[in-house]
Amino acid sequence: MTGKLKKARRALPLVALGVKGAAKASRWVGRVRGRREARRGAPRLVVFLAGLGTGAVLAYLLGRDSESSELNDPALAAKVQSEIFRPADAPKGTVDVNVENGVVYLRGEVTSRAELKDLIDRAQAVDGVRRAESLLHVTDRA
């Protein structure tokens, strides 16, 4: 339907109401339209505020994430322990992990040079570790 035809169909009942009735009906239609237009603005505001809030939360989390990459020494030691002792055959009871200023020191005993190298490589790969030092001894446990 065209715009003129729609307007004519809306005006038809108003003509049947008479002059006073038509005036009342037109005021009512104006109020309803005003409410609709007011409601149309509200979702835009809600969407804007939701976007603003989401942006603020993301900025906070991203800013916080960059700060968390620099863990203190005890937290970094715990993180290194959880990474290097993850395999079932890892020497959990014979190796100690110490951290000083981001440098990891592994102390204790391992059964082979391959195990020693693997532990150092795993410790070095942990995010936040500056370097990993080996103070490990190789022993024969046959």
- pLDDT of res. 48: 82
Supply the pLDDT for residue 49: 85
Q: Is the pLDDT assigned to residue 64 strictly greater than 70?
A: no
Q: What is the pLDDT of residues 75-134, one digit of tens each?
A: 999 999 999 999 988 888 899 999 999 999 999 999 999 999 999 999 999 999 999 999
Task: For the beta carbon of residue 27, count every other beta carbon within 10 angstroms.
Answer: 10
Q: Mean per-residue pLDDT for 44-56?
A: 84
Lowest-pLDDT choice from 11-20, 40-49, 114-123: 11-20
As a whole number, the mean pLDDT across the chain is 80
- The answer, yes or no, to whether residue 53 has pLDDT greater than 80, is yes
Does pLDDT of 67 surpass 60?
no
Provide the pLDDT for residue 59: 85
Domains of the chain: 1-68 (no CATH), 73-138 (3.30.1340.30)
DSSP string over 67-120:
HHTS--HHHHHHHHHHHHT-STTS-TTTEEEEEETTEEEEEEEES-HHHHHHHH
Q: How far is CA 50 from CA 40, 42, 62, 96, 99, in A?
A: 16, 12, 18, 49, 43
Percent of the chain scored above 90 by pLDDT? 41
Query: CA-to-CA distance for 13 and 111, rounded, in angstroms?
Result: 97
Q: Is 10 helix (H, G, I), strand (E, B) or coil?
A: helix
Selection from 119, 124, 79, 75 nearest residue 95 by Cα: 119
Residue that wins the pLDDT comparison between 110 and 63? 110
